[in-house]
């Protein structure tokens, strides 16, 4: 724990100077047409599990202000909101399980509102592999119902793709079926670039196909030469720093300017995130500013 704390403090001191330079450059160049990237709490899950306040401090020093939480790491929504407020941080999206969305919608809404989130997000549809049309039909019905209830509570629902939805179906994919059979007034989507590319699709083309349905984005790169499949799972080594893999983020962010996207979050599932994430953020900021 002591060694990890020393690493955290070293990173914070280094990033304080780096962040000051970044903010200065942004002010010289004017405001970006896209929102500054936030970060997914899962990216720093190991750090959060050890020390939540210290990890929040580190993320703020890295230049992040917006966090998408899918785990509160033992804290209540009220306590987490207080810690965010104390650091001028915000939570715009709150991730929950499929089961919680369907069976505990009111409590999910209460927690999301307490955190100050605008969106409630689900990233996995419960299913027995392979994901099939019956799973898609059930999910579409559940999403429509829960999405309507969340909207009545002043929130928006978003589903995060995870790769298995891109199995072919009737000239398109099961993901197309979800799009076609969910009410756009109640169901929005979070595009995960990695989990579009992993089953062999192009995130840029998907965003252009459904520019009004995607409201959130996970920015994550896929290594060159990755084997494509519909499993919804991938080796950790497939996850590489932004700009070093096969996804054309410059083209993607250009397309994002003509879409309904409100928030973007950097996600990294490896264990070297303290060193990697600042580089990924710098890469994205270099495109958007």
Domain of 42: which CATH number? 3.20.20.150
3-state secondary structure of 173: strand
Distance between CA 173 and CA 168 in Å, rounded? 4
pLDDT at 189: 99
Helix (H) or strand (E) holding 103: helix 98-103
159 burial (CB, 10 Å; 0-12 / 13-18 / 19+) is buried
Provide the 10 A C-beta neighbour count for residue 224.
9
Q: Taking Cα atoms as reference points, which of 204, 173, 182, 80 lies closest to residue 122?
A: 182
- Distance, in Å, from the CA atom of 284 to the CA atom of 217, rounded to the nearest integer, reads 13
Please, are residues 68 and 80 in contact by the beta-carbon 8 Å criterion?
Answer: no
List of residues 6+ apart from 18 with CB closer than 8 A? 63, 278
Pair 121, 41: CB distance under 8 Å: no
Range of the domain at 14: 2-288
CA 79 remoteness from chain centre: 22
Does the pTM surpass 0.75? The reply is yes
Q: Which residues pair with 188 in a beta bridge?
A: 158
**ω into residue 92 within 30 of 0, thus cis?**
no
**Residue 182: what are its φ and ψ, rounded to 5°?**
-115, 145
For residue 27, the model assigns a pLDDT of 34
Contact present, 60 and 89 (Cβ < 8 Å):
yes
Contacts of 109 (CB under 8 A, 6+ apart): 120, 149, 150, 153, 155
**φ, ψ for residue 67, nearest 5 deg:** -125, 135
pLDDT of residue 7: 46
The domain tally of the chain equals 1
Closest CA to 132 of 98, 100, 170: 170
Residue 278's closest CA among 25, 63, 20, 7? 63
Q: What is the mean pLDDT of each run of 10 residues along the chain (289 residues)?
A: 48 44 38 83 98 98 98 98 98 98 98 98 97 98 98 98 98 98 99 98 98 98 98 97 98 97 98 98 94
**Cα Rg for the chain, rounded, in angstroms?**
19
């Amino acid at each position: 724990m002591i060694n990890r704390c020393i690493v955290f403090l070293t990173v914070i001191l280094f990033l304080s100077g780096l962040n000051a330079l970044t903010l200065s450059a942004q002010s010289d160049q004017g405001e970006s047409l896209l929102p500054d990237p936030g970060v997914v709490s899962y990216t720093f899950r190991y750090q959060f599990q050890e020390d939540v306040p210290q990890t929040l401090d580190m993320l703020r020093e890295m230049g992040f202000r917006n966090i998408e939480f899918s785990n509160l790491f033992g804290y209540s929504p009220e306590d987490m909101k207080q810690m965010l407020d104390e650091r001028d941080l915000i939570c715009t999206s709150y991730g929950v399980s499929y089961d919680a969305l369907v069976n505990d919608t009111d409590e999910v809404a209460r927690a999301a509102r307490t955190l100050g989130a605008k969106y409630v997000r689900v990233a996995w549809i419960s299913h027995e592999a392979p994901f099939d049309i019956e799973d898609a039909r059930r999910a579409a019905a559940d999403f429509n119902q829960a999405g309507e209830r969340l909207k009545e509570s002043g929130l928006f629902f978003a589903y995060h793709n995870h790769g298995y939805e891109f199995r072919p179906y009737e000239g398109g994919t099961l993901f197309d079926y979800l799009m076609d059979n969910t009410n756009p007034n109640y169901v929005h989507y979070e595009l995960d670039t990695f989990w579009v590319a992993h089953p062999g699709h192009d995130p840029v083309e998907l965003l252009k196909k459904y520019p009004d349905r995607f409201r959130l984005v996970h920015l994550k790169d896929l290594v060159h030469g990755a084997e494509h499949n519909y499993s919804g799972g991938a080796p950790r080594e497939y996850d590489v720093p932004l700009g070093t893999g096969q996804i054309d983020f410059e083209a993607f962010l250009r397309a994002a300017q003509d879409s309904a996207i409100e928030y973007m979050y950097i996600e990294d599932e490896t264990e070297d995130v303290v060193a990697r994430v600042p580089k990924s953020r710098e890469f994205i900021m270099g495109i958007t500013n």
